[in-house]
């Protein structure tokens, strides 16, 4: 069971979490619980780091930001004990959750679950702070923002759990963020592939890495709400959204005699920035000179378009990078202005990427056309496009984000009551 920041924000909420955990144990389960820091706490700690030193040491950043989860894990263990349950906390280094050395964005390499499973088998509830691990050098690491989801899936895989329930502040995965579109519909099932694509294009209900790990390890993941009464249906009746394999979904829908939805979800991401380099020579190696240095600097380029002006033998290249890497990207390209040979560099951080995702696209034509038409009808201009087998993304003006998501939700006939 994993509980996110809003679920852990304060004494009353943690008490409610403790009751939910107690009920699962009473239903006969051995339980490990992964917790986030209280809502807002990690942001607060990150700010302290930035104030201390804008070029802070990531290893010390990890020492600071990992503390939020240490607090909530101890508190939840106390609340469980107050309810008469046996419980103890297990910090990352105590389990241990072994990661690599990449401070602030570490990857879990191995979880030694022997002591943990023994403790669980003895009837003790294990409470584990999410987001943290221990490096080969024995220092505390963190897994990147939103990383408690990944901790939970990794622990579930390590203890060979029947299920990994991710409790949050919404009661499942919706067709789009229910806080933006009131007509968003809750999905009973989403495939790993779709969830992976949705998370990576901005549906931050699950951290992307947690979904790829679940897919790789075959962990059964359910997303559900912790904001429930004592008499709410038990988690075992799957009241939330189940992440399932393609085959499993096909079987479920066969049983229900259901037509597969063309689009499963829509996501928006305001964390990209657009850069255009104008009048680059149209010759072999020109784009390699741009993207080689960005790759070397670990900057992920997402959308790319190149326009060729036939008469001049020159091209304009437009691409997007994470907003957080914009300044670095500009500096790198400025330095290489002569080698690349561009005329001007234009940057725009006020853009948003809107994506529609669905495995149904594989077998249907016209998904992109519907998107372009619906946006055009509302006067929304498309600045760049990318596609994958199960996704179409467009870049638009950031101010039109909410409108675009709503318009597309209606255009694909996804609106609920
Ligand atoms: P937690 O603190 O529990 O990890 P998060 O804030 O990380 O919670 O994730 C839950 C939030 O994800 C919801 O409050 C919701 O606004 C947002 N969200 C974005 N896209 C979706 C979606 N498609 N379905 C459900 N929630 C979504
Ligand atoms: N507390 C961490 C964060 O806010 C990890 C998490 O909540 O998943 O990013
Ligand atoms: Mg989260």
Q: What domains lie within the chain, and their CATH numbers?
A: 2-256 (3.40.1160.10), 265-411 (3.30.2130.10)
Is 85 close to ligand 2, i.e. is its CB under 6 Å away? no
Token readout for 345 is 């560099």
Q: Which atom of ligand 2 is nearest to the CA of 43?
A: 4
Is 131 close to ligand 2, i.e. is its CB under 6 Å away? yes
Residue with token string 């986030």: 36
d(CA 327, CA 347): 10
Residue-level pLDDT, tens digit, the chain, 417 residues: 999 999 999 999 999 999 999 999 999 999 999 999 999 999 999 999 999 998 899 999 999 999 999 999 999 999 999 999 999 999 999 999 999 999 999 999 999 999 999 999 999 999 999 999 999 999 999 999 999 999 999 999 999 999 999 999 999 999 999 999 999 999 999 999 999 999 999 999 999 999 999 999 999 999 999 999 988 999 999 999 999 998 998 888 877 766 667 899 999 999 999 999 999 988 889 999 999 999 999 899 999 998 877 777 899 999 999 999 999 999 999 999 999 999 999 999 999 999 999 988 988 889 999 999 999 999 999 999 999 999 999 999 999 999 999 999 999 999 987
The residue nearest atom 4 of ligand 1, judged by CA position, is: 4
pLDDT value at residue 290:
96
The residue ranges of DSSP E strands in 30-152, in sequence order, are 32-35, 87-89, 97-99, 108-111, 125-129, 132-134, 140-142
3-state secondary structure of 212: helix
3-state secondary structure of 110: strand
Is 148 close to ligand 2, i.e. is its CB under 6 Å away? yes
Nearest to 103 by CA among 76, 74, 65, 129: 65
Pocket of ligand 1 (CB under 6 A): 4-7, 36, 146, 168-170, 173-174, 176-179, 203-205, 265
186: CA distance to ligand 1 center in Å?
12
Torsion of CA 239, 241, 243, 246, to 10 degrees: 100
pLDDT value at residue 381:
97
Is 42 close to ligand 2, i.e. is its CB under 6 Å away? yes
- From residue 363, give the alpha-carbon distance in Å to each of 158, 241, 261, 366: 37, 24, 11, 10
pLDDT value at residue 260:
66
Per-residue b or e along 106-142, where b marks 16 or more CB atoms closer than 10 Å to that residue's CB? bbbeebebeebeebbeeebbbbbbbbbbbbeeebbbb
3-state helix, strand, coil in the chain (%, to 5): 40, 25, 35
pLDDT value at residue 302:
93
Global pTM reads: 0.93
Residue with token string 């990944």: 150
Is 129 close to ligand 2, i.e. is its CB under 6 Å away? no
d(CA 198, CA 35): 23
- From residue 58, give the alpha-carbon distance in Å to each of 31, 206, 337: 33, 24, 31
Is 5 close to ligand 2, i.e. is its CB under 6 Å away? yes
pLDDT value at residue 230:
86
d(CA 336, CA 138): 40
- Ligand nearest the Cα atom of residue 150: 2
Q: Which atom of ligand 2 is nearest to the CA of 149?
A: 8
From 4, 47, 106, 131, the mutation candidate for ligand 2 (largest count of ligand atoms within 8 A of CB) is: 131
135: CA distance to ligand 2 center in Å?
19
Do 103 and 137 form a contact (C-beta atoms < 8 A)? Answer: no
1: CA distance to ligand 3 center in Å?
14
Task: Tell me which residues have their CB within 5 A of the ion that is ligand 3.
Answer: 4, 146
pLDDT value at residue 90:
98
Measured CA angle at 27 (ends 22, 28), to 5 deg: 100
Residue with token string 């990209």: 272
Nearest to 196 by CA among 150, 250, 151: 150
* Strands 32-35 vs 2-3: parallel, antiparallel or unpaired: parallel
Residue 45 has a CB neighbour count (10 Å cut-off) of: 16
- Ligand nearest the Cα atom of residue 66: 2
Q: Which atom of ligand 2 is nearest to the CA of 37?
A: 1
From 6, 196, 204, the mutation candidate for ligand 1 (largest count of ligand atoms within 8 A of CB) is: 204
- Ligand nearest the Cα atom of residue 165: 1
């Amino acid at each position: 069971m994993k509980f996110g920041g809003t679920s852990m924000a304060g004494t009353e909420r943690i008490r409610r979490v403790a009751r939910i955990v107690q009920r699962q144990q009473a239903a006969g389960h051995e339980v490990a619980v992964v917790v986030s820091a209280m809502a807002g706490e990690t942001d607060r700690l990150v700010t302290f780091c930035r104030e201390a030193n804008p070029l802070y040491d990531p290893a010390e950043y990890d020492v600071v930001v990992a503390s939020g989860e240490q607090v909530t894990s101890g508190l939840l263990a106390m609340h469980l004990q107050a309810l008469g349950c046996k419980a103890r906390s297990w910090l990352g280094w105590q389990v241990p959750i072994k990661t690599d050395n990449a401070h602030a964005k570490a990857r879990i390499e191995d979880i030694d679950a022997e002591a943990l499973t023994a403790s669980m088998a003895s009837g003790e509830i294990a409470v584990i702070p999410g987001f943290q691990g221990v490096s080969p050098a024995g220092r505390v690491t963190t897994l990147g923002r939103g990383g408690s989801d990944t901790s939970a899936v990794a622990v579930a895989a390590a203890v060979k759990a029947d299920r990994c329930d991710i409790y949050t502040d919404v009661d499942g995965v919706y067709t789009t963020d229910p806080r933006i579109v009131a007509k968003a519909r809750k999905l009973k099932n989403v495939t790993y592939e779709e969830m992976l694509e949705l998370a990576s294009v901005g549906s931050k209900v699950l951290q992307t890495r947690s979904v790829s790990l679940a897919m790789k390890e075959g962990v059964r993941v359910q997303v559900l709400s912790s904001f429930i009464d004592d008499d709410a249906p038990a988690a075992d009746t799957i009241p939330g959204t189940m992440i399932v394999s393609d085959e499993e979904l096909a079987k479920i829908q066969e049983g229900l005699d259901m037509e597969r939805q063309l689009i499963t979800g829509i996501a928006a991401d305001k964390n990209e920035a657009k850069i255009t380099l104008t009048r680059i020579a149209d010759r072999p190696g020109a784009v390699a000179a741009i993207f080689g240095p960005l790759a070397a600097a670990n900057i992920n380029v997402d959308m790319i378009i190149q326009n060729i002006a036939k008469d001049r033998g020159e091209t304009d290249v437009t691409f997007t990078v994470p907003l957080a890497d914009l300044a670095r990207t500009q500096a790198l390209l400025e330095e290489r202005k002569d080698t690349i040979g561009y005329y001007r560099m234009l940057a725009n951080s006020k853009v948003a990427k809107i994506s529609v995702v669905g495995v149904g696209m594989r077998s249907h034509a016209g998904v992109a056309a519907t998107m372009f038409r619906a946006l055009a009808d509302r006067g929304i201009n498309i600045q760049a496009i990318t596609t994958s087998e199960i996704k179409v993304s467009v870049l638009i003006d950031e101010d039109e984000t909410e409108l675009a998501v709503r318009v597309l939700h209606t255009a694909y006939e996804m609106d609920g009551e």
